[in-house]
Amino acid sequence: MKKQVYLDYNASAPMIAAAKDAVVAALDIAGNPSSVHGAGRDARKIVDHARRAVAEMVGGDSERIIFTSGGTEANNLALNGLEDVVVLTGAVEHPSVMDARSDARRIPVDGNGVIDLNALEDMLKACQAAGEKVLVSVMLANNETGVIQPVARAALLAREYGAKIHCDAVQAIGRIPVDMGQLLVDMVSVSAHKFGGPKGIGALAIAPGVMLVPQIRGGGQEKYRRGGTENVAGIAGLGAAAARVTDRCGRADEIRTKRDRLEKEILALAPEVVIAGRDAARLGNTSCLILPGMPGETQVMAMDLAGVAISSGSACSSGKVRESHVLKEMGVLEPGSAIRVSLGPETTDEEIDMFIRVWSRMRGNAERKKLARNAA
């Protein structure tokens, strides 16, 4: 069976060996982390070790790391855990932020998908004048385009007007450094499977002074911030992946070089292709390519049949034929014609070559069919 070329790291990265080993080892621990006997203490050691690794990864305090079922739950806890606040979110946030608060007010973005800081300040002023408490939520890097947001500058504005700020760093971790102190944020969301850990486990890191109302009740776990017996095996894998994030970030330039070559060769083949967010700071692993006149879903299926795995947008929208809200907010003319190619440390030059060959053949077939239709 031919090996598939995997270029969908923003959906999920392959689990690294250290995380697999940690998960398997943790599965042999029978104890509940809340139990006081030896087996329970063994489980607790695993949880505590991982908590420290996650805290170090994001520049936080291990006492303020809350384990969750993933980035979606972490985002929901952040946006719903503060009482009586108005929520301001970027207009291109992940669906787990967009849908967490239907009453959130949207911060507009420019043509590259970067939030308008002047608009944010106007919104903060209006909230202050109305006597409203505010939570600002801005992602660090967009999952569809890779565009990096000016989170620290947004945080300075938030602080100036007495607002709290949350950062969804799910897509950024392992690709660029993430430090709560440098970002000046109050909360950061993490998801293990984006940087080599297992699926179904994540965390929310909170700063001193942040008091959250638990959204899952029924136990005193996570210092009463999130009820339910801890997923010890998942947490072990998260901790192991977190401990190796610096190594992944160290491969960023190498990955960017591959991505840049991919984009250069695609543009040489098809100058009509639009690269979303090209003029903004982006993650070096992400490319959102828009081929006018050809639906993204059609491209994804054609590439998959040829053994290349890519995406047409957020993995959380898979199976749903709908245009990207991110690209719509950016003013992209044909958002339905976009595909997302995302690379990782394991991506090889040969795989980039394979993508270019298959994509070029797919485009050529589409052009020939179009000419045949026009001739008929």
Residue 81, Cα to own-chain centre: how many angstroms? Answer: 20
Domain shared by 140 and 179, yes or no: yes
Domain boundary among 227, 247, 267: 247
Antiparallel, parallel or unpaired: β 286-290 and 274-275: antiparallel
Catalytic residues: 316
Concatenated DSSP letters for 289-353? EE-TTS-HHHHHHHHHHTTEE-BSS-GGGTT-----HHHHHTT-S-GGGEEEEE--TT--HHHHH
Domain shared by 102 and 35, yes or no: yes
Domain shared by 181 and 258, yes or no: no
Instruction: List the CATH number of the domain containing 109.
Output: 3.40.640.10
**Ramachandran angles phi, psi of 355, nearest 5°:** -60, -50
Instruction: For residue 188, list its beta bridge partners.
Output: 167, 205
- What domain count does the chain have? 2
pLDDT 10s digits, 194-251: 999 999 999 999 999 999 999 999 889 999 999 999 999 999 999 999 999 999 999 9
Domain shared by 93 and 39, yes or no: yes
The residues of the chain scoring below 50 in pLDDT are 317-319, 321
Domain boundary among 230, 247, 264: 247
Domain shared by 41 and 169, yes or no: yes
Nearest to 144 by CA among 281, 341, 329: 341
CB 189 within 8 A of CB 74: yes
How high is the pLDDT of residue 318?
47
Domain shared by 187 and 302, yes or no: no
Domain shared by 178 and 307, yes or no: no
Domain shared by 174 and 314, yes or no: no
Entry pTM: 0.94
How high is the pLDDT of residue 315?
53
What the block records as the tokens of 195 is 């940087």
What residues make up the domain containing 206?
Answer: 17-247
Domain boundary among 247, 279, 309: 247
Domain shared by 282 and 270, yes or no: yes
